[in-house]
Amino acid sequence: TLIDKYSDRINTIHLKDMKIVSTGEKFFDLGKQVICPLGEGNIDFKPVVEKIKKLKIDWIIIEQDYSLNGDINGDYKKSLKFLKKIV
């Protein structure tokens, strides 16, 4: 909806994926939301990418604030590989 609303002003979009991981709580584990490589989380990127392609947005930026496994470059590579598959 936001992409449609501001499509005339968007030339760059940044993508970030999130997932829920266990906090280890014994009785009431709601988990916590953490950043993960694109395609490994809760966000369905296919409709977003279709909208990006339709509007001919110039740049897609991948956001990866940190890595759960300590390999942020590996996470960027996973995200890029995923993005190339759906673009």
The Cα–Cα gap between 69 and 77 comes to 14
Q: What confidence score (pLDDT) does residue 26 get?
A: 87
4 or 84, which is more confident? Answer: 84
The structure's pTM equals 0.83
Q: Quick one: DSSP state of residue 36?
A: E
C-alpha span between 75 and 33 (Å, rounded): 17
Query: Residue 1: pLDDT band by 50, 70, 90 thresholds?
Result: confident
Non-local CB neighbours of 43 within 8 Å, separated by 6+ positions:
17, 18
How far apart (Å, rounded) are the C-alpha atoms in residues 85 and 87? 6
- Determine the pLDDT at residue 18: 95
pLDDT band, very low/low/confident/very high, at 34 (cuts 50, 70, 90): very high
Q: Which run of H or of E encompasses 77?
A: helix 72-86
For 35-61, write each residue's pLDDT tens digit.
999 999 999 999 999 998 898 888 999
DSSP code for 64: -
Residue range 8-17, pLDDT digits in tens: 899 999 999 9
Q: How many CA atoms lie within 13 A of 78 on its CB side?
A: 17
